[in-house]
Structure 1
């Protein structure tokens, strides 16, 4: 007499693991850190450009410092502040998926601008004087860019999670 054959035990397979599972927190933290670094870099670039004048190109061609040039102020810092701050706000919110992510770059940018406007040099001059209208407009426009971006996010309704078949539907 032969023994009955036993079938091998069938175990249910675990669903395949996503290759990026668990990296969500790392990506969000990296998004905030990169947006903060970008804020510092662009803020210092904007502060440098706020002192630029039309005569700077002549000075640069002759080999001198571009900050010794004369003429009318060159308002390159204003569109740079608007564009860079808009891009930083978008990047921070997009990479983190959280609306609060616009806060750290906005606060840091504003603090850097206030520090530059309120700091005196060793001679007693302010780094950004009251006569530098480009710097004053840049501070206003840059901060308003963050504010308008935040306001538009407030007006946008929250995204609802996609319904799955396992959720209970309302109603009796």
Structure 2
């Protein structure tokens, strides 16, 4: 990556933007759910920065992926954990990198298997554009434009850092 990203400062700005988003919508007791694994790391920091009272939930969307039949089971599958009822509650869904939109679609499908939330807001650390599905974040920490063949990944959990690398074979 050509320039260093101050993750802590970006997370503080993301938390401030999320707080403003919630205030505009009149939401004072949201639930927060992170998508395994980078989204959980970001959600843990945001949960703390926002001082949320409800426990943090996390999803592993492996079984909900639209390419599951092609790529098979990921050996790192972890169980999802939603320690609350999502029915009629406002949910903040958190992921590290928003790219095609397919991960978010899978996460929404899984959340709705648990119940029917009043609304879902999407918070992402990095939005890299180039969607394949019509999905947009409500709040974003960074927008990044990458060259063809490049990918961005959050490494962590401590310390958190963004890594840009070329995809294998390119």
User: Normalising TM by the smaller chain, what interval?
Assistant: under 0.3
* More helix as a share of residues: 1
Q: TM-score, normalised by structure 2?
A: 0.24
Larger-Rg structure: 1
* More strand as a share of residues: 2
Q: TM-score, normalised by structure 1?
A: 0.24
